[in-house]
Amino acid sequence: MKQYLLAVHHAYDAPPLSDDEMQTAFAQVDQVNTELRSAGLWVFGGGLLPPDSATVVRVEGGNTTMTDGPFAETKEQLGGFWVIRSADLDEALAWAEKCSRACMGPVEVRPFEDEPEG
């Protein structure tokens, strides 16, 4: 089975969810997580703190610098993710639809590179 990243994107300048909406999203995501585990597809998942909590580490010319994040200045940032095992892209997309509905945000699907045979 191939592994896929299901990445949740948040526009941090958008109005925040109400407390009721947030609790609904938490409950819905917990349900999807339970379904993924029951289906044997769960690898890992988690939410992330806002981009301003990030530290960017760079090594250039042998010198290391650390700066406050985020790495990229964009309207949307990664807000959380799932890593799942899936038979194919179609199955991963079906789960991404469930995940998007649950967390009430867009979910990007990206396959992991295959490990070299060796």
Q: What is the pLDDT of residues 4-46, one digit of tens each?
A: 999 998 887 788 889 999 999 999 999 999 999 999 999 999 9
Please, are residues 34 and 102 in contact by the beta-carbon 8 Å criterion? no
82: which 2 tokens?
Answer: 């799932």
Q: Structure pTM? A: 0.86
Give me the mean pLDDT over the 100-104 stretch.
Answer: 95
Q: pLDDT grade, residue 51 (50/70/90)?
A: confident
Give me the mean pLDDT over the 34-60 stretch.
Answer: 94
**Chain mean pLDDT for the chain:** 92
Domains of the chain: 2-111 (3.30.70.1060)
* Other C-beta atoms lying within 10 Å of the C-beta of residue 99: 26
Which residue has better confidence, 23 or 75? 23
Q: pLDDT grade, residue 69 (50/70/90)?
A: confident
Instruction: Encode the chain in three state secondary structure.
Output: CEEEEEEEEEECCCCCCCHHHHHHHHHHHHHHHHHHHHCCCEEEEEECCCHHHCEEEEEECCEEEEEECCCCCCCEEEEEEEEEEECCHHHHHHHHHHHHHHHCCCEEEEECCCCCCC
